[in-house]
Amino acid sequence: MSAPVLTTERLLLRLPEAGDLDGFAAFAADAETMRHLGGVKTRSEVWRSLCEMRGAWEIRGFAMFSVIERDTGRWVGRIGPWQPEGWPGTEVGWGVLPDFAGRGYAYEAAVAAMDYAVDVLGWDDVCHTIAPDNNRSIALAERLGSVNRGPTRLPPPLEAFPVDNWGQSAAAWRARRG
C-alpha cells in the first residue's frame, strides 16, 4: 500500500507498521496519557487498535500517522487525520509518549497533519475532540489557532466521555499559515 510520508525538521510521519507495536503499547499503557483516550489498554487491545488505524488508511484513504524521531528512529506518537464512522467531524488528533512531551513534537507533527488534511485531503474544516480538562491538548489546539466551538459527542463506545469540539475552517488555517 502506498501512502504519504511527511517530513518535518525533526520528524517523519508515516503509515503505522507492525514494528510500531512497542511504541503504541507504551503509549496506551501510560495512565496519564490514556486518561482522556478511553483508559489504559492491554497489549492485545493495542494490537487491534494499530490494525484498525492501518486499516483505515486502506478503507478511508487516511488515518493517523506514526510519528518517528528522525535522528533516532524512535516512535514518538500518533498524529493525524481521523474520522471513524459517527465521528463529530474531520479531526486531526494527536498523542505522544510522555518522554517526548514538552519538546514541541506534537505541534510540529500537527502542523504537518493539518497541512495534509487541508491541502491533500481537501477538508473544509478540521476539528480536535478534546476533554474539557485536558489542558495540554487545549494549549496545542490554541497554538494551532483552533477555537472551542462547544461540547460535542463521540460515537459509542466513547459517548460517555465529555469532549469539546475545538477547530477551525480550512480558510482560517490557510490564512494563519500566510
**Residues in CB range of 47: below 8 A, 6 or more apart:** 21
C-beta separation of 123 from 90 below 8 A = yes
49-81 core/surface letters (b: 16 or more CB in 10 A; e: else): bbeebbebbeeeebbbbbbbeeeeeebbbbbbb
Which pLDDT tens digit goes with each residue over 39-82? 778 889 989 999 999 999 999 999 999 999 999 999 999 999 99
Res. 27: pLDDT tops 60: yes
The predicted model scores a pTM of 0.93
